[in-house]
């Protein structure tokens, strides 16, 4: 498990592009038969991916967590962005297809991941945050997710938002999680840009077509920075940073948050005319 420590606004304003990437970009999420985890100090979120190909792989318990098992003091949200797979949690099995999700609450001890077919392996995106209350383990199929259509083709931001773990969906202690799919011809996500000082956020970009990329914007509204992001790469967004992006084609991304509240609409918008 890799560690990413916090960086102040002042520090980030002086970063080179490589320093920005080293601090906030997670390039290696999915690797066959491996689980990769990155621990960020921002709200102590853990961001990772599991890609079982041959047999099952178990959720590890990194020594630095100082816990008896991974979810002793944590909760975990999982969205599959690959082929059909199976998640086992304390003897309970969840079969999930692409864009379906599973929530595992604090106290779940034995967790493993498996693909239905090695020719089309599952790719489980993982987000974990500290928890102090227990909520039941639950599966949510894509077909049953609450969706919202926003934006317009005229503004190049026509997209559908899928809400999985939130106040009106799967219940959690503090984790909020969902995804956004942009329609063909649209490239902008989360525009106008916003911040939410009360929680951090992480983006996983997926279904970015070969040869294409997303220009992820971050930093303060009056001093924006950018990172070029490719398929299956994630960006850590501090509470004080905007988070928005434009792709060379349409794409999808998973958003996940943890912090002071679970209110999806808790956003402080920056006017487009204010961006610098």
Query: For residue 195, what pLDDT is reported?
Result: 85
Residue 174 CA, chain-centre distance (Å), reads: 14
Task: Please determine, for residue 266, whether its predicted confidence score (pLDDT) is greater than 80.
Answer: no
Q: What is the DSSP string of 18-67?
A: HHHHHHHEE-----TTEEEEEEESGGG-EEEEEE--SSEEEPP--GGG-S
**What is d(CA 218, CA 236) in angstroms, rounded to the nearest whole number?**
10
Q: How many residues does the chain have?
A: 276
Here the CATH number for the domain that contains residue 171 is 2.60.120.10
**What is d(CA 240, CA 219) in angstroms, rounded to the nearest whole number?**
8
- Domain range for 73 is 2-274
**What is d(CA 107, CA 70) in angstroms, rounded to the nearest whole number?**
9
Number of domains in the chain: 1
Average pLDDT over residues 111-127: 98
The answer to whether the beta carbons of residues 95 and 84 sit under 8 Å apart is yes
Task: Please determine, for residue 263, whether its predicted confidence score (pLDDT) is greater than 90.
Answer: no
Confidence category of residue 176, pLDDT binned at 50, 70, 90: very high
Picking from 1, 29, 5, 38, the residue whose alpha carbon sits closest to that of residue 19 is: 5
- Contacts of residue 10, defined as CB under 8 A and 6 or more positions apart, other chains included, come to none
DSSP 183: P
Does pTM top 0.85 for this prediction? yes
**What is d(CA 102, CA 77) in angstroms, rounded to the nearest whole number?**
6
For residue range 42-78, list pLDDT tens digits in order: 999 999 999 999 999 999 999 999 999 999 999 999 9
Query: For residue 193, what pLDDT is reported?
Result: 83
CA distances from residue 50 to 7, 28, 82, 247 in whole angstroms, order as listed:
27, 11, 10, 25
């Amino acid at each position: 498990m890799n560690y990413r420590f916090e960086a102040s606004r002042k520090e980030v304003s002086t970063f080179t592009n490589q320093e920005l990437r080293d601090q906030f970009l997670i390039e290696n999420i999915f690797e066959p038969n491996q689980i990769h985890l990155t621990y960020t100090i921002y709200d102590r979120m853990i961001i990772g991916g599991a890609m079982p190909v041959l047999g099952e792989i178990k959720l590890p318990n990194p020594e630095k967590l100082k816990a008896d098992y991974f979810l002793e003091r944590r909760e975990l949200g999982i969205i599959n962005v690959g082929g059909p797979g199976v998640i086992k949690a304390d003897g309970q099995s969840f079969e999930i297809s692409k864009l379906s999700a599973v929530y595992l609450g604090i106290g779940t001890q034995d967790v493993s991941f498996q693909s239905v077919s090695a020719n089309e392996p599952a790719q489980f995106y993982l987000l974990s945050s500290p928890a102090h209350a227990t909520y039941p383990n639950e599966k949510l199929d894509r077909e049953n997710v609450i969706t919202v259509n926003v934006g317009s083709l005229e503004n190049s931001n026509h997209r559908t938002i899928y809400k999985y773990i939130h106040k009106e969906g799967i219940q959690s202690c503090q984790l909020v999680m969902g995804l956004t799919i942009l329609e063909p011809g649209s490239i902008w996500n989360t525009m106008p840009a916003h911040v939410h000082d009360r929680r951090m956020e992480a983006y996983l970009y997926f279904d970015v077509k070969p040869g294409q990329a997303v220009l992820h914007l971050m930093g303060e509204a009056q001093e924006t920075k950018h990172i070029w992001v490719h398929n299956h790469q994630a960006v850590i967004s501090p509470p004080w940073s905007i988070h928005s992006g434009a792709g060379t084609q349409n794409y999808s991304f998973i958003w996940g948050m943890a912090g002071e509240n679970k209110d999806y609409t808790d956003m402080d918008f920056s006017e487009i005319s204010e961006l610098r």
